[in-house]
Amino acid sequence: MPKRRKAQSRFPYFNRELSWLAFNRRVLEQAQSKDYPILERMKFLAFVSSNLDEFFEIRVAGLMQQVKSGTIERGPDMLGPKAQLRRIQSVAKRLVTDQYECWDKQIVPSLEQSNVLFCNYVQLTRNEKKWLTNYFEEKVFPVLTPLAIDPAHPFPQLTNKALYLLASIDDPETRIIERMMAIIPVPRVLPRIVKIEAPRRGNPEVYIFLSDVIQHYIKWLFPGYKVSSAVPFRITRNSDLYIDEEEVENLLTKIEEELMKMNKGAAVRLEIGKGADPVLVEELLQAINLQQENVYQNDGPINLLRLMSAYDLIDRPDLKFPPAATFVSSQFDHSDSIFDRILEGDIMLHQPYDSFQPFVDFIHQAACDPKVYAIKQTLYRTSGDSPIVAALMEASRRGKQVTVLVEIKARFDEANNIQWARRLEDVGVHVVYGLVGLKTHCKTCLVVRREGDKLRRYCHLGTGNYNPKTARLYTDISFFTAKEEITEEVAGLFNTLTGFSLTPRFKKLLVAPFTLHSRLQNYIKAETRNAKAGKPARIIAQTNSLVDQVTIDNLYRASQAGVKIDLIVRGICNLVPNIKGVSENIRVRSILGRYLEHSRIFYFENHGVPIVYAGSADWMPRNFYRRIEAVFPIEDPELKARLIGILETYLKDTKNARILRANGAYHRIAKSRTNTELVASQDIFAKAAHERRKHQEKERQEEPTIVPHTPITKASQADSKGS
């Protein structure tokens, strides 16, 4: 009989879903932090709700579907779907309880101290109640439609994430309590937060939630009946699109059909206010096929995401972050063409500290420059009013060949992307709608320009979406180059995206799903070999998520060999750090601050000759195998030094950074006796941008009125590249 092999010891892993909930807990900590202006704290509170919505619509919905179908898919942590759901419900309910406590005990009182009041009806003055009655009668009551639920009125289709009221109705002329159910849909055209325009002593700004307004006046909808209770509620449904691309003749049409079905997906969560009739709640759960454990009863306004509208409604700059003025280097000043600047040397921007405007100028100049023959660009998330979309349309009108690859499978942006993509098609832009089986997530733009008797390519590569709005809110790396070895591969990437290519070749770029995963593993293994040979070995990686098991296992082996590894992982992290003999050389930190950390930067020591990359890919299986991603090398010595400096600054953060422990908890970095000052990396970057701007303005004031254009040198670029 053959000898049984000893079972191989398994590396430890955190659960993906619980790690994500830990990330959202850190977002909640931003709302609880007294370091931020109060309206910014309120916005972070809204982010918690937005994040939870997507988590339930996609991740929880997927687990519930597994349980229903009997399919068991286990991650590296080996937890089954039922066990995950139990833990998720426990952790998520504590998170939501703390979220509402933050609103009630911290945000509302702090706003009140700043003369901004969120009131219920009872707290209003007589004049305010009178004003509100007129408002309800004129603006709200005419568009409300109560839906009685009885044998003649079947249960209605309730839309995903829409706001409703659940009312218990009784006939006062009978002795029995009928508990008749009525559902009142709140039309989406109505503002969810109402500013009361009635004078009050002290001139405070007074606001009330629309659900509170309808609750108070709900008797108007049921004349002659008694309303025993009325509470707001909201249903979250499975919102993942199910598309077999191999069987679809027209992907665009199919996605539009699926978007129509999205509001009818299986219910996965019921959020409901306190005070609801328990009998009606049970009937509601039966109607939507949901269990009691999926109920989230909230003592406060349903869906705190609506606070985002309050942030814009409340015109109090003193309660918000001061506007951040971004830096635009003088290297873009004295040139008729941004292409001249790129030709002189690679350019790298660190957004939002460096302005995104140079890319907007790049695409606008490409659109108008008669020497430009072709523009190719990927778009994942943007807006219809984007100046980038406008420039691409203008380029097509001017007769240039414009190709745009629009990823219509970008989750929750499908409808928007379809809308503005069709506008591009209307002016002759060649629009390609993704690849079968893959999402196009890379951020690439290629411009082909005739210079003399030859064609030259210019390209932009980035870590963030081509969206000027989010470019002011996300930290990202933006890179311009005209180097042929890079632009040629970007051209090959676009040919792969728009044509057919089973085995494209990339030497400089790391491109998923072709070379990215294997090349990254080779770099990790090379550091492992260097450490075993007694050579310097270090890895630093900044990413949004770390989930891929092969990558984690190779990092564990690198740690065991003595490689010093610093991971800056904003969100999900399945790797367990600081385990003796496994990961004791790995430190994991998460940084949350004013800006959303979105850059992906990878550093490998390489025996004293560092290799540095930036790009669009997180370290997740979907990014490695199910998306088109582009990760690009930074080889210019000055730019490489700047990028390494950015990573080192993140590692010095003691204010916004949280360190991940082996038990899955994140903790603040304690002040030491020798160092009592907290360091915030985002503040350092902002201050450096401010100093560069001041220095540049001073130089401009000292310049003569007419300045002849001279080519910029490496030395003169240095001050604008160092942070």
Digit-coded pLDDT (tens) for 419-430: 778 888 899 999
Cα–Cα distance, 667 to 669 (Å, whole number): 7
- Contact status, residue 575 vs residue 660, Cβ threshold 8 Å: no
Say yes or no to pLDDT of 247 above 60. Answer: no
Looking at 477, 500, 523, the residue that finishes a domain is 500
Helix (H) or strand (E) holding 23: helix 16-32
Q: Are residues 38 and 69 in the same domain?
A: yes
Say yes or no to pLDDT of 198 above 90. Answer: yes
Q: Are residues 463 and 563 in the same domain?
A: no
Say yes or no to pLDDT of 7 above 90. Answer: no
Helices 81-102 and 16-32, axial angle in degrees (round to 10): 0
Q: Is residue 695 part of a domain?
A: no
Average pLDDT, the chain: 89
Work out the percent of the chain whose per-residue pLDDT is above 70: 89
Say yes or no to pLDDT of 498 above 80. Answer: yes
Q: Is residue 2 part of a domain?
A: no
Residues with active-site annotation? 441
The per-residue pLDDT for 327 is: 85
Work out the percent of the chain whose per-residue pLDDT is above 90: 74
Q: Are residues 157 and 192 in the same domain?
A: yes
- Encoded amino acid at 528, one letter: T
**Of the candidate ranges 371-375, 527-531, 550-554, 696-700, the one whose mean pLDDT is the lowest:** 696-700
**Of the candidate ranges 67-71, 314-318, 440-444, 686-690, the one whose mean pLDDT is the lowest:** 67-71
The per-residue pLDDT for 723 is: 33
Calculate the alpha carbon distances from 621 to 43, 255, 513, 545, 548 in Å. Answer: 31, 24, 10, 11, 5
Say yes or no to pLDDT of 217 above 80. Answer: yes
- Contact status, residue 388 vs residue 232, Cβ threshold 8 Å: no
Q: Which tokens hold the place of 120? A: 């219920």
Q: Are residues 297 and 435 in the same domain?
A: no
Say yes or no to pLDDT of 265 above 80. Answer: yes
Say yes or no to pLDDT of 243 above 80. Answer: no
**Of the candidate ranges 67-71, 297-301, 596-600, 697-701, the one whose mean pLDDT is the lowest:** 697-701
Calculate the alpha carbon distances from 93 to 82, 87, 96, 521 in Å. Answer: 17, 10, 5, 38
Say yes or no to pLDDT of 259 above 70. Answer: no
The per-residue pLDDT for 636 is: 97
Q: Which tokens hold the place of 432? A: 């390609």
Say yes or no to pLDDT of 722 above 80. Answer: no
Q: Which tokens hold the place of 686? A: 């902002």
Domain enclosing residue 149, as ranges: 16-319
Average pLDDT over residues 62-78: 86
Name the more confident of 104 and 715: 104
Q: Are residues 370 and 421 in the same domain?
A: yes
Say yes or no to pLDDT of 5 above 60. Answer: no
Q: Are residues 479 and 615 in the same domain?
A: no
Q: Are residues 173 and 299 in the same domain?
A: yes
Per DSSP, the residues of 415-463 read: HHHHHHHHHHHHTT-EEE--BTTBEE--EEEEEEEEETTEEEEEEEEES
The per-residue pLDDT for 707 is: 42
Q: Are residues 495 and 613 in the same domain?
A: no
Q: Is residue 384 part of a domain?
A: yes
The pTM assigned to this predicted structure is 0.90
**Of the candidate ranges 198-212, 244-258, 380-394, 691-705, the one whose mean pLDDT is the lowest:** 244-258
**Residue pLDDT, tens place only, 132-183:** 999 999 999 999 999 999 877 788 999 999 999 999 999 888 877 788 999 9
Q: Are residues 270 and 172 in the same domain?
A: yes
Q: Are residues 300 and 372 in the same domain?
A: no
Name the more confident of 714 and 507: 507
Output the domain CATH number for residue 439: 3.30.870.10
Cα–Cα distance, 356 to 349 (Å, whole number): 8
Q: Are residues 310 and 384 in the same domain?
A: no
Looking at 319, 343, 358, the residue that finishes a domain is 319
**Number of domains comprising the chain:** 3
Q: Which tokens hold the place of 469? A: 């709005």
Say yes or no to pLDDT of 246 above 60. Answer: no
Q: Is residue 459 part of a domain?
A: yes
Q: Is residue 713 part of a domain?
A: no
Looking at 466, 481, 500, the residue that finishes a domain is 500
Q: Is residue 477 part of a domain?
A: yes
Cα–Cα distance, 659 to 200 (Å, whole number): 48
Q: How confident is the model at residue 511 (pLDDT cuts 50, 70, 90)?
A: very high
The per-residue pLDDT for 671 is: 65
Say yes or no to pLDDT of 710 above 60. Answer: no
The per-residue pLDDT for 128 is: 97
Q: How confident is the model at residue 400 (pLDDT cuts 50, 70, 90)?
A: very high
- Contact status, residue 210 vs residue 190, Cβ threshold 8 Å: yes
The per-residue pLDDT for 183 is: 96
Output the domain CATH number for residue 140: 3.30.1840.10
Q: Which tokens hold the place of 612? A: 């540095």
Q: Are residues 249 and 355 in the same domain?
A: no
Q: Is residue 618 part of a domain?
A: yes
Q: Is residue 438 part of a domain?
A: yes
Average pLDDT over residues 247-271: 65
The per-residue pLDDT for 394 is: 96
